[in-house]
Amino acid sequence: MFFFPNQKTPILFQGITSAMGRYQTELALSYGTNLVAGVSQEITGKLGSIPLYSSVAKAMRAKKVQVSVVFSTPQKALSDVLEAIKAKIPLIICTTEHVPMHDSLKMKLAADQAGVTLLGPSSAGILNVGHAVAGTIPTHLFSAGSIAIVGRSSSLMFEAVQQLSEAGLGVSQCVSLGADHLIGASFIPVIECLYADTATKAILVIGQVHGTLEQELASFYQKNHPKKMFVYIPGKTLARSDKHPLLGMKSVLFSDVIQEKKTLFKKANACWIDSPDEIGKQILKEYKRKKK
């Protein structure tokens, strides 16, 4: 099951002694994240105040870990994620980019079978603003507020955060699903949690041309929409085509795919954002309208 880690959630870093692992350890601790353990094959003992273990199973025995963040090379990502799945860690975040597609699929299938949630590969993780960060999301950009952001493209999500800040709006939760073709968790479990999250009043979704996750989300939202949803998908002016996943080998234009997704979201009563420089403005406008 998906959930938002808070300052009490015990978190494990796999690959903690890599350059990225060390860097993120400092940032996470200074944000008040409850980082309780690290897994490292290279170093034993401690990294600062964090105890190191040689395997996930050992870390799990010593600390009741709820979330694992994986900072591995593409070569090691599969075995590290499978290790976390085997230890039944309920929420696993794989931040590695360039993971082979077959490896991603194996991770996803194993996670589904074990009943744990996998975010990514290539996910920037989760930021519960003001409480905890699990992943590589730059916390310095965020101020606390009531908009939640869920998306595929991390740079674009950060752009949206800045626009919201400029509009005087803050963020409650930020979740990156990962931009890869094959990823673990989809939008729906995250959105369900956001519905239950009292800090969140509205949700911004940054989608992707490829795949059908947005269609699934639109039909989910149509049935169940207690909170306002804003959607932006980049790529509509690109003169390119994509292999349509439902039509086998036929290719369709990006603009047609995005138009199809737009129609579905509009039908579901979500608020469509047409231009990437209007994200902040459009959400602010809707907010003011609501207050009147």
Partner 1 sequence: MELHEYYVKEIFKTAGLPVLLGGVAYTPEEAKNIACQMTSGPFWVKPQVLLGYTPDKKRNLLLEKRLAENSEEVLALTEQILGMHVKGFPADVPATIQRVYIEQAVQKKALCRFVFRVDFDRQTYTLTIVSDKGENTFFLTELKLTSAIKKEILKCMKINDRHIGRLLESVLEKAYRLFIHYGAVAVELNPIVQNDKTLVVVDGRLVFDPDSLFRFPEIVKRQEIKWGHEREALAKKNAFRYTKMCGNIACLVNGIGFGWATIDLIHQKGGQVACLLDVGTEPTANAITKAMKLALAEPNVDGILVNIFGGLTSCKTVAEGALAASPEIATGIPVVVRMAGLDSTEGVRLLTRSISPFIVMNKISDATSEIVKQVKGVL
> Site residues (CB under 8 A) for partner 1?
74-75, 97-103, 105, 108-109, 124, 136-138, 140-141, 151-156, 158-159, 162, 179, 181-182, 206, 208-209, 211-213, 232, 234-239, 245, 248-249, 275-277
Rg of the chain on CA atoms, in Å? 19
d(CA 21, CA 38): 9
Phi/psi at 21 (nearest 5 deg)? -60, -45
Q: Do residues 264 and 257 touch, judged by C-beta distance below 8 A?
A: no
- Name the nearest CA neighbour of 222 among 183, 263, 193: 263
133: part of which helix (H) or strand (E)?
Answer: strand 132-135
d(CA 191, CA 138): 22
* DSSP letters for 255-274: HHHHHHHHHHHHHTTPEE--
Which token pair is 263? 């129609």
Which token pair is 218? 């639109």
- Measured in residues, the chain has a length of 292
Q: Which residues make beta-bridge pairs with 272?
A: 231
Phi/psi at 132 (nearest 5 deg)? -160, 155
- For the chain, the straight-line distance linking the first and the last C-alpha, in angstroms and rounded, comes to 37
